[in-house]
Chains A and B, each alone.
Chain A
Amino acid sequence: MFGLKATRIDCCIKGCMLFYDNEYGKNDGHLLQCKFCHKTRYHDPKVGTSKRKLIPMKTMFYLPIIPRLQRLFTSMQTVGQMIWHYDNRRPSGVLRHPSDGQAWKNFDQVHPDFAAEPRNIRLGLCYDRFNPYIQASAKPYSCWPVTFLLKCAC
């Protein structure tokens, strides 16, 4: 039902821009050069090989979050967990879950329409660096995964 795809997006080798389109007016998917530093998007094709696929200089992986969130509501095992914070409300003074915290309560006050639906999702974004190859290498390679945590589930 949901194909949990991973998309690859080409980026400028210096990290100035992404070659992609979105619904908010970005239309860079067709460009062959970076708009800012004018570095090329693809490696130069080898001489004598006419029908070769173009190889991008650098790509990032993007795993769309919307189908992943939707999938949680389609399984009986996870759907109950999505409103755990609503079913298990604690008396004030007990701190056991992010929903007991001041930030959560303050957010509910500012956005009452959001708080009215317990199935609405609250996310935390984790961001850190890791070195995928040898730790003590002379040329360290740094990779940066971005992970989402669901704060409503336990």
Chain B
Amino acid sequence: MLRPYMFLSCLIPGPHNPKARIDVYLQPLIDDLKKLWSGVQTYDVSRKQNFMTRASLMWTINDFPAYGMLSGWGTQGKLACPYCMEHTKAFRLEHGKKNSWFDSHRRFLPNTHTFRKNKKAFTKAKVEMGGPPSMLTSEEVYHTMKNVPTIIDEPHLSKLPGYGEWHNWTKRSIF
């Protein structure tokens, strides 16, 4: 990735972590992205003509704590995994009292993989037969979150009912 093709767009001041209220600071950015999706008049020097260019945001690149801030699925606690979501196989260690995600990964292997039948190296005497959890589509995410107010309308949003028990949603994401 060369330098001309990456540029700083926002600088969000501190001194504290904005947490879920990051959406407030992203508002001008989202306005510009909306404009870019419908098209912006641009001059192309190689063809010497004007054209409508459009842009879409395809990915976000961030670390795991920032993932929780951008996506709206909290990345703490037992339901931290944003792939497994409420179908997680995480458990609490009996004496250490910490959450553990041990042996949650075998279900992502191909069905015929030898590790699935291994009874010694993973959880003792357990053959993993289950498949991976189904992936949420954008419509499903919208359907679950459509009644939750956005952070822009309600910046002091309290914890949603059931947080940490059957879901880990913290907010409706701005994206």
- Tell me the B1-48 residues at the A interface (CB within 8 Å): 1-2, 4-18, 21-22, 24-29, 31-36, 40, 42-46
Contact indicator A125/B14 (Cβ below 8 Å):
no
Residues of B close to A72: CB separation below 8 A: 4-5
What's the Cα separation between A59 and B63 when bound, in Å?
25
Contact indicator B36/A126 (Cβ below 8 Å):
no
- The verdict on A81 contacting B5 (CB below 8 Å), with A24-B34, A74-B43, A146-B26 known, is yes
Residues of A close to B34: CB separation below 8 A: 24
Q: Which of B52-60, B102-110, B126-134, B160-168 contacts A (4 or more CB under 8 A)?
A: B52-60
For the complex, count residues of B whose C-beta is within 8 A of A.
55
Range class of the A interface residue count: 35 or more
- In the complex, the chain A residue whose C-beta lies closest to that of B58 is A122
What's the Cα separation between A122 and B5 when bound, in Å?
11
- In the complex, the chain A residue whose C-beta lies closest to that of B69 is A127
Instruction: Give residues in A with beta carbon < 8 Å to B.
Output: 7, 9, 11, 14-18, 20, 22-24, 26, 36-37, 58-66, 68-70, 72-76, 78-81, 98, 103-104, 107, 111, 114, 117, 119-129, 139-151, 153-154
